[in-house]
Amino acid sequence: MVNNSSPIWERLEESRLPSVAAYLAAMAVVVATGLQTGFNGRQLATYEVVAALLLAIPAGFLLFVSLADLLCYFIFIPSITHDGHLFSAVHGSHLIHPLTTSLVLGLAGLCIFTGSTLGGAMWLVLAAVFLFQTWLILRKVRKDHLMNGLDGERSGTFLLVLNLIFGTEIVTVAAGAKPLAPWRIDTLPEDTWIVDVRTKPEFYWNRLQGAESFPWGAGVIEAAKDMPRDRPVLVTCLSGHRSPTVAVMLRKVGFKTVYNLNWGLLYLILLERGRKKDGPFALTRPHRDPGRRGEDLRGISIGYVTLQALILIISPLENALRQVAVSSAQQIVGAVLGLAGLTAAIMSYRALGRNFRVFAAPRRSGSLVTTGIYASVRHPMYSAVIAMFSGYIIFFGSLVSVPLWLAFSTLYVIKALKEERIIADRFPEYGEYRKHTGRFLPFL
């Protein structure tokens, strides 16, 4: 019999291993399908066409929504205080799960379309990992419910599953609650009942002045009994992924106007940083710690390094397994592009000297480098690595590596945009330097 309280389950709840396993399984489905069928379709029966469409349409929609959420996270949510780790701890699973769901649905449709039995077998492994990961998240949430006085209340479990799989915005709107953008919070009436569903430590860390604390919704239904049903309600949490369930519950008990704060208080803290204002919608701590702003880019750095490692392995492996016919001209183009990128990378490294860092935050004793290759380009190292790997992929003729290359190139763009804001705060002269240099290429 499995002991659900054993340390191994607790470690798995906090571990990234289930997420990594899910994406490795998804990659295995793609590789297996490509090797067996070359992604070529087959003659489908009517029911197979219907099944494939029923899987592909929600998969595409979820992919779009989840990628948009991820981009918002990477671009707009920095490490705002020394407690910024709370965001990734609470937000990470909810942010990534709709993307995982889109892969599970989409790859099922791909297996039907191609008729790949090998891909189908790998998909069963992916589905098992996905269900296990969902169970782990629900188990952790259930534990938080028990810690915050929700013992025996399971009414929100179904909504929580929907939030995890389909994303909070979809579930919130479908249930009649209204998503509220953080920059529109001041449009609410001042008598709005503000329900904060975070844990007590999060609530005391930072909150709206007029908010009341109901951890995970504990006690909110009891408190709502004496509230007029036409009073507006705003439900908030740290990242916008716990509040929808409570917003839907309040709609069910009769409140006519219920809002869910999109992206949670962290986005609002970013918008309001440095400002001081009064009223129920003012934050108790409208500031962030600029000394830790580089830390939010560690995840980006780890992401592109991981993708690059996968490309280095997959490209020659795919070439060997598929016996890709690569022309001499293509190999020459790939080699020239790769060597050009390598040369630019060496020049960038030499120009940086002791200022070189993998992460974005500059060294305390560092200086702004504007000489050498940096005299005309602000991020030559990023351009060089992108060029190197594009040449590597072209040389081996790898198709599987192309989306990986696009993904890590996008991470470089996001990192460059955020990095420039950090450097501009550290070096006042950076603004003038930026005017006469290109971001990735000279004059661009």
Q: What is the mean pLDDT of residues 6-33?
A: 79
pLDDT tens, position by position, 227-267 = 898 899 999 887 777 787 788 888 888 888 888 887 778 77
CA distance 232 to 250: 11
Share of the chain above pLDDT 70, in %: 73
pTM listed for this prediction: 0.51
Start-to-end C-alpha separation, the chain: 63
Tokens, residue 96: 């990534």
Beta strands in 69-148 (DSSP E): none
Q: Which residues pair with 34 in a beta bridge?
A: none
- Which of 330, 155, 165 minimizes the C-alpha distance to 245? 155
pLDDT tens, position by position, 334-353 = 999 989 989 988 888 888 77
pLDDT at residue 288 tops 50:
no
- Which of 432, 428, 426, 420 minimizes the C-alpha distance to 365? 426
pLDDT at residue 78 tops 50:
no
Tell me what pLDDT residue 112 has.
92
pLDDT at residue 283 tops 50:
yes
CA angle 75, 413, 333 (to 5 degrees): 160
Tell me what pLDDT residue 157 has.
62
Beta strands in 279-336 (DSSP E): none
Q: Taking all residues of the chain, what is their mean pLDDT, rounded to a whole number? A: 77
Tell me what pLDDT residue 122 has.
93
Question: Do 261 and 240 meet the contact criterion of CB atoms below 8 Å apart?
Answer: yes
User: Of residues 363 and 100, which shows the higher confidence score?
Assistant: 100
Stretch among 108-117, 152-161, 274-283, 310-319 having the lowest mean pLDDT: 152-161
Question: Do 362 and 326 meet the contact criterion of CB atoms below 8 Å apart?
Answer: no
CA angle 231, 156, 70 (to 5 degrees): 90
Tell me what pLDDT residue 70 has.
67
- Band (295; pLDDT cuts 50, 70, 90): very low
User: Of residues 156 and 371, which shows the higher confidence score?
Assistant: 371
Tell me what pLDDT residue 107 has.
93
Q: Identify the three-state secondary structure at position 92.
A: helix
What torsion, rounded to 10 degrees, do the Cα atoms 203, 208, 212, 214 define?
-40
Tell me what pLDDT residue 7 has.
63
Stretch among 100-114, 136-150, 192-206, 249-263 having the lowest mean pLDDT: 136-150
264-284 per-residue burial string, b: 16 or more CB within 10 A, e: under 16: bbbbbbebbeeeeeeebbbbe
Stretch among 86-100, 113-127, 218-232 having the lowest mean pLDDT: 86-100
DSSP 175-221: TT-EEE-GGGGGGS-TT-EEEE-S-HHHHHHS-BTTEEE-GGGTTHH
Q: What is the mean pLDDT of residues 167-171?
A: 58
Which residues lie below 8 Å from residue 315, measured CB to CB, with a gap of 6+?
A: 392, 393, 395, 396, 398, 401
Tell me what pLDDT residue 226 has.
82
Tell me what pLDDT residue 274 has.
59
User: Of residues 189 and 289, which shows the higher confidence score?
Assistant: 189
Q: What is the mean pLDDT of residues 155-179?
A: 62
Tell me what pLDDT residue 108 has.
93
Q: What is the mean pLDDT of residues 35-61?
A: 87
pLDDT at residue 62 tops 90:
no
What residue type is assigned to position 55 of the chain?
L
Share of the chain above pLDDT 90, in %: 11
